[in-house]
């Protein structure tokens, strides 16, 4: 028999400690989930961008530019996605968010010209940033090139694609 309420006090202490631990790890879990969402969106954007370049599907203005300056890009090419990495660059007082910069590694054997590879890399980076904006529903916060892309706590930019 519990004449002094010891069981109730122990139960309250255990429950209080459990709630304290759960609340203290909640922000960490939320941050990790947000970065995972950014990276998954980036991978999706890389695949979409490389698919569009692989099929040679472009907007009208881009097609006219490629017709004039980069005729090789009118023909489909195989682009292999290697990996995407992120780098946290700290807090930015202008955007009042933390900055993440994405680095995308890709490979292609059919495009040798560095200007053509740069055009393909720009298209891939565009689709990466666009995919991130669509995932977080922040299309209205950025420009038409989705640069920078925004999430809840981060703004995201991209390095030029590294060709391996």
pTM to 2 decimals? 0.82
- Report the DSSP pairing between strands 162-163 and 97-107: parallel
At 3 the pLDDT is: 67
At 86 the pLDDT is: 96
CA–CA separation, 87 and 161 (whole Å): 14
At 87 the pLDDT is: 96
User: Is the Cβ–Cβ distance between 115 and 2 less than 8 Å?
Assistant: no
Q: State the distance between the two ends of the chain, measured CA to CA, in whole angstroms.
A: 73
Along the chain (164 residues), what's the average pLDDT of each consecutive run of 10 residues?
A: 76 93 88 94 92 72 81 82 95 94 93 89 93 94 90 94 94
Centre a 10 Å sphere on the Cβ of residue 135 and count the other Cβ atoms it contains.
17
Three-class SS of residue 98? strand
CA–CA separation, 99 and 78 (whole Å): 32
Whether a cis peptide bond, with omega within 30° of 0, leads into 148 is: yes
> Which ranges of the chain does DSSP label H, i.e. alpha helix?
6-55, 60-69, 114-136
At 54 the pLDDT is: 66
């Amino acid at each position: 028999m519990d004449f002094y309420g010891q069981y109730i006090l122990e139960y309250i202490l255990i429950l209080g400690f459990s709630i304290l631990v759960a609340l203290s790890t909640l922000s960490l879990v939320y941050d990790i989930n947000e970065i995972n969402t950014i990276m998954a969106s980036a991978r999706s954007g890389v695949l979409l961008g490389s698919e569009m370049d692989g099929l040679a599907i472009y907007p009208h203005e881009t097609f006219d530019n490629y017709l004039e300056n980069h005729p090789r890009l009118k023909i489909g090419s195989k682009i292999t996605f290697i990996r995407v990495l992120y780098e946290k660059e700290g807090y930015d007082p202008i955007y009042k968010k933390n900055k993440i910069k994405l680095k995308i590694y890709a490979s292609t054997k059919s495009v040798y010209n560095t200007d053509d590879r740069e055009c393909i890399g720009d298209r891939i980076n565009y689709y990466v940033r666009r995919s991130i904006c669509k995932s977080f529903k922040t299309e209205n916060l950025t420009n038409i090139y989705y640069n920078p892309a925004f999430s809840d706590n981060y703004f995201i930019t991209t390095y030029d694609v590294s060709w391996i």
